[in-house]
Amino acid sequence: MRKNSSFIVAMIPAGIALNWVANSIVEMLKLPIFLNNIGTVLNAVVLGPIYGIVTALMTNTILGLVVRWTYVPFALVGAAVAFMAYFFFKKGWYKKTWKVLAAGAIAGAIGAVISTIISVYVFGGFSGHANDIFTAGLVAAGQQIFSATFIANLPTTIVDKVLTFWIVSMILKIFPVRFLPNAKDIREKLGLSSGNGAAL
Amino acid sequence: MNSLYIARESMIHRLDPRTKILFVLFIVISSFLFKDPAMQLILLIGMFPLVLLSKLVKQYLMSMQFLMLFVVLIMTIHGIYNPIGETPVFEIFGGLTFKYESLVYASVMSFRILVIGTAAVIFVMTTHPSDLAIALMKWKVPHSIAFMFLSTFQIIPIIAREAKIVMEAQQARCLDVKANIFERVKHLVPLFAPLFIITFVKVHQLSYVLECRAFSRNGVKTSLRETKISSLDYMFISGMLVLLLTELYLSFAQQISLTTSNLLVSSLFAVWAVFFIVIVKFVYKKVSVFIGG
């Protein structure tokens, strides 16, 4: 890893920037999702799980410093997503589209559980997004706080993570992977032939 | 891009970043020590002199607006619906009652958000990111982590500009941003693929530049800005220690409880009033754009 240390040092801020910038692209297409883990997932696949988790933790630290501090506890969600992105990549789930979607759904479900636990114990069930209105409505309709937060969070989180995983896998397939530090690994796990990507 | 840092000539700005990190930790610890809303309120009011000292009252109030949404939701929803509440204190229309125990729970949680928010805002607004990185390096945090932290602030505007260029270029190539939702989801790939490639090009450039400047060599790294611990810092830290010991004594040795139902109801009204002002200001801004524009 010594050889690539400056690549890693430059790649982690770029991952954080991608997490940040994804928001503006989604806004332009007017889609009701965030995609705020896309750089984390990319870094977890390209650099490995530890750097993916570092990206997730630093993203939320920077968000906490620049926007508001309530983002900081949710760093754990990003860390879990980064770990799972690497895990499913290692298992070779990125070869087939339906497996990528399944991996995203699993990651989204686990992420929703973690974010529900955090928001219930730290913020009383609210997380600072527009979803809070649903949570409040569900609580008023007679749900428990925990289940209301979970129900309000689950669909958006799953759709979000499924799309994140799908975009990263699609892009790595058309990407000139020979520029990446673990090109051999990525070719193998994505099921690409060795010539693929070089033509781009 | 700047963080929320605002340059001023003040006592708080002159403190060492490490002192301010300790201050934030102290506030977090003490806000979790107290289970009593009255003590949290005292903590919150006790921090206003620091905001005044840092000469950032207006910016502070602006950034606290966003936390008010949390506070209003938590106070209202938990106050009415939380199952731990038994003793009714205050009734609004339709038989919905605010209960004492659940209001205590809700106000502890929401005052904690405000208290930590205040401390975090004081810290962020008075600390330059470079100073923070230097302070971290003095605490033996690896040099590369401090660099990553700093370069993020530099690289976000670069990537944001590239993203804007990619979006405009793809729209010029007939990418329909008003298609149905499945088409728009498919459009994410042609938008993100060039952005990823540009990002990798930038990352490679940056890593060559870093290597040219002997980034991964061992040795002492120097920097342009300097931070020093002065007598002011020692005074601040010793003051915090005294306060922390007092808080520990108060919360463990003596079970004091200053909370009354009057306090809870009036803080509920205060929160609603502040939120109402924020909403009115927001609506006024939106409407005045329509009228003035």
Total residues belonging to chain B: 293
Distance CA B27, CA B19 (A): 12
Q: Are B169 and B37 found together in one domain?
A: no
Neighbours of B180 (CB within 10 A): 8
The nearest CA of chain A is from the CA of B284 a distance in Å of 21
In chain A, what residues touch B73 (CB-CB under 8 Å)? 126, 132, 136
DSSP one-letter code for A1: -
Q: Are B187 and B261 found together in one domain?
A: no
In chain B, what residues touch A17 (CB-CB under 8 Å)? 152, 155-156, 158-160, 199
Residues A119, A67, A15, A167: is their CA dihedral positive or negative?
Answer: positive
CA distances from A145 to A14, A57, A72, A94, A110 (A): 37, 27, 22, 36, 18
Q: Are B127 and B48 found together in one domain?
A: yes
Residue A194's pLDDT is 56
Residue A50's pLDDT is 93
**Each residue's pLDDT tens digit in chain B (293 positions)?**
556 788 888 888 888 999 999 999 999 998 888 888 888 888 899 999 999 998 888 888 888 887 888 888 888 888 888 777 778 877 777 677 888 888 888 888 889 889 999 999 899 889 888 888 888 888 888 888 888 888 898 888 899 999 999 999 999 998 888 888 888 888 888 999 999 999 989 998 998 998 898 887 877 878 888 888 889 899 999 999 999 998 888 877 776 677 778 888 888 888 889 889 988 988 998 888 887 65
Distance CA B167, CA B164 (A): 5
Contacts of B251 (CB under 8 A, 6+ apart): B33, B34, B35
Decide if B282 is inside a domain: yes
CA distances from B68 to A189, B47, B56, B80, B172 (A): 47, 17, 19, 18, 42
- Give backbone dihedrals phi and psi of B47, rounded to 5 degrees, phi first: -90, -10
Tell me whether residues A25 and B188 touch, CB distance under 8 A. yes
Q: Are B111 and B233 found together in one domain?
A: yes
The single-letter code of the amino acid at B193 is A
Q: Are B32 and B65 found together in one domain?
A: yes
How high is the mean pLDDT of chain A?
Answer: 86
Q: Are B156 and B110 found together in one domain?
A: no
- The residue of chain A nearest to residue B178, with distances taken between CA atoms, is A29
Residue A104's pLDDT is 93
Contacts of B172 (CB under 8 A, 6+ apart): none
Residue B88's pLDDT is 81
Distance CA A105, CA A110 (A): 9
Domain enclosing residue B204, as ranges: 142-212
Taking Cα atoms as reference points, which of A166, A130, A163 lies closest to residue A35? A163
Query: How far does CA B171 lie from the centroid of its chain?
Result: 36
Query: Exposed/middle/buried for A141, CB within 10 Å: 0-12, 13-18, 19+?
Result: exposed
Dump pLDDT digits (tens) for A23-56: 888 888 888 888 889 999 999 998 989 999 999 9
What HEC string does A84-145 produce?
A: HHHHHHHCCCCCCHHHHHHHHHHHHHHHHHHHHHHHHHHHCCCCCCCCHHHHHHHHHCCCCH
C-alpha gyration radius of chain B: 25
Give domain A2-190's CATH number out of 1.20.1270.30, 1.10.1760.20, 1.10.3720.10, 3.50.50.60.
1.10.1760.20
User: How large is the ipTM?
Assistant: 0.86
Q: Are B50 and B84 found together in one domain?
A: yes
Q: Are B124 and B235 found together in one domain?
A: yes
Are B40 and B86 spatial neighbours (Cβ–Cβ below 8 Å)? no
Q: Which two tokens stand for residue B163?
A: 């993203």
In chain B, what residues touch A68 (CB-CB under 8 Å)? 63, 66-67, 117, 120
Decide if B5 is inside a domain: no
Decide if B111 is inside a domain: yes
The last residue of one of the domains, among B212, B239, B256, is B212
Q: Are B84 and B146 found together in one domain?
A: no
Residue A83's pLDDT is 94
Contacts of B77 (CB under 8 A, 6+ apart): A124, A125, A136, A139, A140, B106
The last residue of one of the domains, among B161, B185, B212, is B212
Q: Does A3 touch chain B (CB under 8 A)?
A: no
Decide if B23 is inside a domain: yes
Residue A198's pLDDT is 46
Decide if B221 is inside a domain: no
Are A26 and A35 spatial neighbours (Cβ–Cβ below 8 Å)? yes
Taking Cα atoms as reference points, which of B71, B1, B26 lies closest to residue B237? B26
Distance CA B41, CA B21 (A): 22
Tell me whether residues B204 and A16 touch, CB distance under 8 A. no
CA distances from B69 to A49, A197, B48 (A): 35, 48, 21
Taking Cα atoms as reference points, which of B250, B197, B145 lies closest to residue A171? B197
Q: Are B128 and B146 found together in one domain?
A: no
Dump pLDDT digits (tens) for B17-53: 999 999 999 999 988 888 888 888 888 999 999 999 9
**Extents of the domains making up chain A:** 2-190
Nearest CB to B113: which of A123, A125, A179?
Answer: A123
Q: Are B120 and B18 found together in one domain?
A: yes
Per the listing, tokens 């125990």 go with: B101
Residue A128 has pLDDT above 80, yes or no: no
Dump pLDDT digits (tens) for A149-169: 999 889 989 999 999 999 999
**Which pTM does this prediction carry?**
0.86
Q: Are B27 and B120 found together in one domain?
A: yes
Best of A16, A100, A159 to substitute, by most chain B Cβ atoms within 10 angstroms, is: A16
Q: Does B246 touch chain A (CB under 8 A)?
A: no
Decide if B64 is inside a domain: yes
**What's the number of domains chain B is made of?**
2
Taking Cα atoms as reference points, which of A90, A80, A108, A92 lies closest to residue A165? A108
